[in-house]
Amino acid sequence: MSPTESHAAPHILLIDDDPTTIQTVTRALAGVGTLHVASSGGEAVRLLDQVSPDVVLLDADLPDLTRSWILETLRADPERADVAVLLVTSRGDEEVEQAALELGAVDCLTRPLRPAIVAMRVATQLRLKAAHDRLRRAAALDPLTGLIDSRGFDDSLGREWQRCLRSGQPVSVLVVDVDRVRRFNDHYGHGTGDRYLAAVAGALRDCVHRPFDVVARYGGDEFMVLLPETDSNGALQVGLRMAAAVAALALPHAASDVASHVTVSIGATSYDAACSAWLGGDGAPFTVIDPGVQAHDLLASADLALHVAKRRGRAQQCFRSIDAAVDAARCAA
């Protein structure tokens, strides 16, 4: 099966302070997507961080530095490099149009705007982006489970990490490891092992319900879960739900020394710029935030928590602070 896909309306950002243009575009794009309007460069910067638009309509009458900065910022960010920018120009703005196209704008809309043309041009760019997104997802699918693979996960993590830093929203990562897979394959055979891994993958995928949550097969019997806008408590709840869902499959595992059925061990970590401390298992606070933390530190921290879960007997979940200087974890079977 394919990963969960979003069916939400696309987001369109109009950067323009002309009332007639705003009114025309609003009427033209009714039903096409969710329109957000910025009437200044500063407001545009704020909305670019908050909205993650699929298409941007950019006023050519903005100051050159502001217009160029917006275009260059979009193209320099891997997360937003494929966002289509349509320049809204007045007749006779050939030099502005050329400069914008050189910086990455894909098309121009000429004032006075005609609603039908605006709707068609924007719809065309949305179709192209949707097709590109489908190809990108298909290229990063694991053939056994239908989940995205490690490359797709790393790309998603990079995008969500940048969004987390811009928005101040938390982000969490879980690493899920199927217990005693080698013993299982020796006992039942690799064919049965593959079928069981596919079943586990389906159970994990069914435990996330938001279109931007990511479940990936990272390699072998290891799965990664990316939970944007999720703090530690939310991450722990998802992890417990996943462990219970796998146990509910009741897949026999006679060779396991953990349980008579297939189980998983889970390591969890979170980054939350709004918090300064988590509570450890003994109720004592310990520091989370490290100014030098990077996206890969999330993976390392979750992996360390997984090792703790395994040392404590497997078939449980452990949370570890992202602060590598703190060797503390809280676990729950």
Domain 143-332, classified CATH 3.30.70.270, yes or no: yes
Give the start-to-end residue ranges of the domains of the chain: 11-138, 143-332
Q: What is the pLDDT of residue 227?
A: 95
Angle formed by the axes of helices 150-167 and 41-51, nearest 10°: 140
Please identify which of the residues 154, 221, 272, 323 carries the catalytic annotation: 221
The helix/strand/coil state of 321 is coil
Tell me which of 58-62, 123-127, 285-289, 321-325 is least confident: 285-289
Alpha helix segments (H runs only) across 140-179: 150-167
pLDDT digits (tens, 9 = 90+) for 18-46: 999 999 999 999 989 899 999 988 888 88
Please compute the mean of the pLDDT values over residues 64-87 and round it to a whole number: 81
Q: In which band, very low, low, confident or very high, does the pLDDT at 287 lie, cut at 50, 70 and 90?
A: very low
CB 275 within 8 A of CB 235: no
Q: What is the pLDDT of residue 199?
A: 96
Q: For residue 142, give the amino acid letter.
A: D
**How far apart are alpha carbons 312 and 330 in whole angstroms?**
11
Q: What is the pLDDT of residue 164?
A: 82
Q: What is the pLDDT of residue 9?
A: 82
The helix/strand/coil state of 109 is strand
**How far apart are alpha carbons 106 and 112 in whole angstroms?**
19
Q: Which residues of 16-44 are buried (b: 16+ CB within 10 A; e: fewer)?
A: bebeebeebbeebbeebbebbbbeebeeb
Percent residues over pLDDT 90 in the chain:
53
| Average pLDDT over the chain, rounded to an integer | 84
CB 230 within 8 A of CB 173: no
Percent residues over pLDDT 70 in the chain:
86
**How far apart are alpha carbons 269 and 229 in whole angstroms?**
13
Q: What angle do CA 194, 318, 254 make, to 5 degrees?
A: 35
Please compute the mean of the pLDDT values over residues 232-246 and round it to a whole number: 95
The first and second tokens of residue 296, run together, are 């890969």
Q: What is the pLDDT of residue 7?
A: 47
The CA–CA distances, whole Å, from 160 to 2, 51, 294 equal 20, 13, 12
| Residue 54 designated active-site | no
Q: In which band, very low, low, confident or very high, does the pLDDT at 311 lie, cut at 50, 70 and 90?
A: very high
Q: What is the pLDDT of residue 118?
A: 95
**How far apart are alpha carbons 152 and 217 in whole angstroms?**
10
Query: Tokens 């009714």 map to which residue?
Result: 30
Q: What is the pLDDT of residue 167?
A: 75
Q: What is the pLDDT of residue 2?
A: 33
Tell me which of 98-102, 251-255, 258-262, 278-282 is least confident: 278-282
Q: What angle do CA 279, 285, 288 make, to 5 degrees?
A: 85
Please compute the mean of the pLDDT values over residues 300-321 and round it to a whole number: 92
- The string of DSSP codes covering 70-105 is HHHHHHH-TTTTT-EEEEEE-TT-HHHHHHHHHTT-
pLDDT digits (tens, 9 = 90+) for 111-155: 999 999 999 999 999 999 888 877 776 667 898 999 999 988 998
Q: What is the pLDDT of residue 277?
A: 39
Domain 11-138, classified CATH 3.40.50.2300, yes or no: yes
| pLDDT for residue 290 is more than 80 | no
Q: What is the pLDDT of residue 274?
A: 57
